[in-house]
Chain A
């Protein structure tokens, strides 16, 4: 029997999803191939059992939780701000610039900023700064998308609000964002990179020298700078440096030697040695780091990085080694999608 095995087509064959010609080819092969018949029997057996699983009704408590959370979010806003809004009304009256802006251009939505030390909430416009260098804290309400906590010692500039974008610029200090929004709706500029929210919660810190760090607590974010991009999932950290953009992301629970090696690599310190340590120390989860390095190492080192990733998770069907070594964008994306299940 010299025809190729049809393992890859068997689930579609079993589910009646194959076009006629392909189905006939599979049937012809099955008549003479015991191995593929056995594989089909396994699929039939498994599918039959899985189909026996019955639907489970969601208990009423699930809706109650949704109802409470959705109503609660509205109530929270009210509860958080009643006194502050009363104060804010007075403040707005005396803050001439805000009032002027508000009457002058009602197209632009205001930011709502609660200054936690003085208990005052106020509406602020794009271009204004939220400044907590005096040791106070603040909270910025990002429309209906979420909130940004501003830690003491921070300077954040409020950017434009449009239908498609909420934008902040973090000059110095630390902010923690909790955002539930479609990707790329909430953006934070830092001196070294731009943090693009992909639906997540995170903390961004920028030091006096403009270098910074993104630490993800849930979801994903992208760090971007002049065409260089780092994708950072929950549990990972990515550092940024002025002029160099986003560094290589790594998981917080990665081996200490790997984390130090990533820093060394990004700073250009003994890169060859650093790469060797990363490759040696990497766990399956650290393919996050290795995948980013594929396009950042010298061409001569790329095969080593590829081999280490492939040892954990080979490229998916239709993606070749040569495509990945030549940094084919589509191939890299497909491999990343597979690897991301381990991240």
Chain B
């Protein structure tokens, strides 16, 4: 997915003209905004919820409907993307609250959930690797998961992440470190295979 009508780019932010058109209720402009960000929002939710397409779809809808209603009040004090990601993180966390009670995701990282059937003679297929990483991410506590996805999936800067997550840069760094250390431990079988090859 690329920039939409030259008004939104992967690394950039929304043009004032597009935002203004959205504020006026221009549905075409809102559609352009949606097209520019939909895959990023959907992907974050998708990996946040362990590749649950239904959950990702519902969260994406919820995020953009909220955006549609509230964009008139976005004053541009911060980057649009920061504001958007804050909505995304809140939506994911809100939804995961209900799930957590059902699924017990507050439990420590579940090592045996990660596929380890790859052996020395069988290299990991890309798909299998992605599935392992995705499952490992899903076992992280929500706040670490959100930090990892925003930073490494969407390449947000530390200062943007701090604004999106409503915390300090130090807290962002701490969450990323803890998230990585947990992921590395969970994915140790893969690491061992890599090192052995």
Contact = CB atoms under 8 A, between A and B. Distances in A.
Interface of A: 7-12, 15, 17, 39, 42-43, 45-47, 49-59, 61-63, 65-66, 69-70, 144-145, 180-182, 218-219, 233-235, 253, 284, 316-318, 334, 337-338, 341-343
A62 B174 CA distance: 34
B180 A46 contact: yes
Nearest to B153: A53
B113 to A, nearest CB: 16
A318 B170 contact: yes
A323 B72 CA distance: 39
Contacts, number: 144
Contacts of B53: 59
Given A50-B148, A253-B101, A316-B171, 17 more contacts: A10-B177, A42-B180, A42-B184, A43-B184, A45-B187, A49-B190, A50-B152, A52-B129, A54-B130, A55-B1, A58-B41, A62-B60, A65-B61, A69-B61, A69-B65, A144-B69, A317-B174
Contacts of A62: 38, 42, 57, 60-61
A303 to B, nearest CB: 25
B54 to A, nearest CB: 10
A56 B56 contact: yes
Given A53-B130, A58-B42, A12 B73 contact: no
B104 to A, nearest CB: 12
Contacts of A15: 151, 158, 176
A124 to B, nearest CB: 24
Contact of A11 (B39, B65, B106, B176): B176
Contacts of B38: 58, 62-63
B180 A61 contact: no
B152 A51 contact: yes
Contacts of B1: 55, 57
Given A8-B174, A62-B38, A63-B34, A50 B106 contact: no
Nearest to B152: A50
Contacts of A316: 167, 171, 174
A61 B64 CA distance: 13
Contacts of A17: 157-158, 173
B177 A43 contact: yes
Interface stretch (B12-20, B115-123, B135-143): B135-143
Nearest to A343: B97
B133 A39 contact: no
B24 interface: no
Nearest to A218: B94
A7 B57 contact: no
5 contacts: A8-B170, A46-B180, A55-B1, A55-B39, A145-B69
A316 B171 CA distance: 7
Interface string B154-174: 000110000000111111011
A56 B106 contact: no
Contacts of A50: 133, 137, 148, 152-153, 183
Given A43-B180, A234-B94, A180 B69 contact: yes
Interface in B33-65: 34, 38-43, 46-47, 53, 56-57, 60-61, 64-65
A335 to B, nearest CB: 11
B173 to A, nearest CB: 5
Name the residue in B61, B101, B106 with the highest tally of chain A Cβ atoms < 10 Å from its Cβ: B61
B81 interface: no
B97 A66 contact: no
Contacts of A9: 173
B84 interface: no
B5 interface: no
B71 to A, nearest CB: 11
Contact of A57 (B39, B141, B177): B39
Contact of B130 (A46, A52, A61): A52
Nearest to B143: A341
Name the residue in B31, B158, B171, B173 with the highest tally of chain A Cβ atoms < 10 Å from its Cβ: B173
A337 B39 contact: no
Contacts of A49: 129, 133, 183, 187, 190
A59 B177 CA distance: 33
A190 to B, nearest CB: 25
B197 to A, nearest CB: 14
Contact of A53 (B70, B94, B134): B134
B191 interface: yes
A292 B153 CA distance: 36
